[in-house]
Amino acid sequence: MIVGKIRKLSSEGIYHVYFRGSSRRVIFYDDEDRKLFCNCINKAAKKFKTKILAYALMDNHIHLLVKTNFLSKFVSSLKISFIRPYYKKYFLTDSLFGSRFGSSVKESTLSIKKCILYILANPLKAGLCADISEYRWISFENGFKDVEVDNTFINFYFDSKENLRDQVKSSLEIKELDIVEKEDVWCKTTFFDLAELLHKILAGRKISLLSKKELFEIKNKLLLESSATYSQIASLLNVSLKFVLYKSARKNHLRDI
């Protein structure tokens, strides 16, 4: 049964998750990349008991609507499992994704419906198709073959595929700001993502052999390129919290201790 209010993160929550390629770089160059990502969604969802309610894969960003108790773990597992074969394929050494991912809690039936429409309208807004039935990489028709989507909410809100398609077309005026709610936050970088970023910054160097100046530059890069807490960075670099806070590269020097 679907009720008017959805419980918050303290129990199982429904979230709009969105993340982009680093510096808005292209993520998906071909259908092989997209299939790989879909497989990674399915594996991470199964591992962390997450239901996919809607999704859209665009060239340089991803939208997911999920129901889960393990949001950060789900996203971290998804990104890591995708990155490994992807880096091997394209011989990448720099960061593929921005270190943060956006997450917006959806608490009402109206906000969930608007989010589904917004996600499915992405390829239309980008000019990739004239009708959502023509675009494979969303939770509509052929897209259900790639990602295991829970249709409970879609079936609740829309009488038929035609009704859903028509409502998506009429919802093109819905902007990103319209679906942002007070609970919207940029989720903090997981320790795994932070370690991956550090590995790329080090480029083969060992932390133990770095000078104090080099260590200072690296901690500032981590501050600028991630949303990790100061304590996370101090722990990873094996330095004091005072060292990380000193002349912090972040404008808001005292947040996220």
pLDDT value, residue 175: 62
Q: Is the same domain home to 114 and 218?
A: no
Q: Is the same domain home to 107 and 212?
A: no
Q: Is the same domain home to 67 and 27?
A: yes
pLDDT value, residue 138: 96
Cα separations in angstroms, 92 against 39, 88, 143: 21, 7, 28
Q: Is the same domain home to 38 and 151?
A: yes
pLDDT value, residue 41: 98
Is residue 227 situated within a structural domain? yes
User: How confident is the model over 66-89, as a mean pLDDT?
Assistant: 91
Q: Is the same domain home to 183 and 203?
A: no
Q: Is the same domain home to 145 and 204?
A: no
Is residue 257 situated within a structural domain? no
d(CA 111, CA 189): 26
pLDDT of 45 higher than 70:
yes
> pLDDT per residue over 88-131, tens digit each?
898 887 778 865 678 888 988 888 999 999 999 999 999 999 99
pLDDT value, residue 176: 57
Buried residues in 74-100 as b, exposed as e (16+ CB within 10 A): bbbbbbebbbeebeeeeeeeebbbbbb
Q: Is the same domain home to 172 and 205?
A: no
Q: Is the same domain home to 51 and 103?
A: yes
pLDDT value, residue 252: 45
- Check if the beta carbon of residue 187 is closer than 8 Å to that of residue 194: no
Angle between helical axes of 191-202 and 212-225 (0-180°, round to 10): 130
Q: 179 falls in which pLDDT band (50, 70, 90)? A: low
Is residue 61 situated within a structural domain? yes
User: How many domains are contained in the chain?
Assistant: 2
Which DSSP string do the residues of 30-46 spell out, in sequence order? SHHHHHHHHHHHHHHHH
Q: Is the same domain home to 225 and 151?
A: no
Q: Which of 4-8, 233-237, 238-242 has the lowest mean pLDDT?
A: 4-8
pLDDT of 6 higher than 60:
no
CATH number of the CATH domain containing 68: 3.30.70.1290
Is residue 251 situated within a structural domain? no
Q: Is the same domain home to 179 and 200?
A: no
Q: Which of 130-134, 185-189, 245-249 has the lowest mean pLDDT?
A: 185-189
- Check if the beta carbon of residue 13 is closer than 8 Å to that of residue 65: no
Q: Which of 149, 166, 187 is a domain's end point? A: 187
- Domain range for residue 118? 13-187
pLDDT value, residue 245: 81
Is residue 75 situated within a structural domain? yes
User: How confident is the model over 207-234, as a mean pLDDT?
Assistant: 83
Looking at the chain, the whole-number percentage of residues with pLDDT higher than 90 is 44
142 vs 137, higher pLDDT: 137
pLDDT of 235 higher than 90:
no
Q: Which of 162, 187, 212 is a domain's end point? A: 187
Q: Is the same domain home to 181 and 228?
A: no
- The sign of the CA dihedral 199, 201, 204, 209 is negative
Q: Which of 22-36, 83-97, 146-160, 177-191 has the lowest mean pLDDT?
A: 177-191
Q: Which of 166, 187, 208 is a domain's end point? A: 187
Is residue 142 situated within a structural domain? yes
Q: Which of 202-206, 210-214, 252-256 has the lowest mean pLDDT?
A: 252-256
151 vs 242, higher pLDDT: 151
Q: Is the same domain home to 169 and 196?
A: no
Is residue 140 situated within a structural domain? yes
Is residue 215 situated within a structural domain? yes
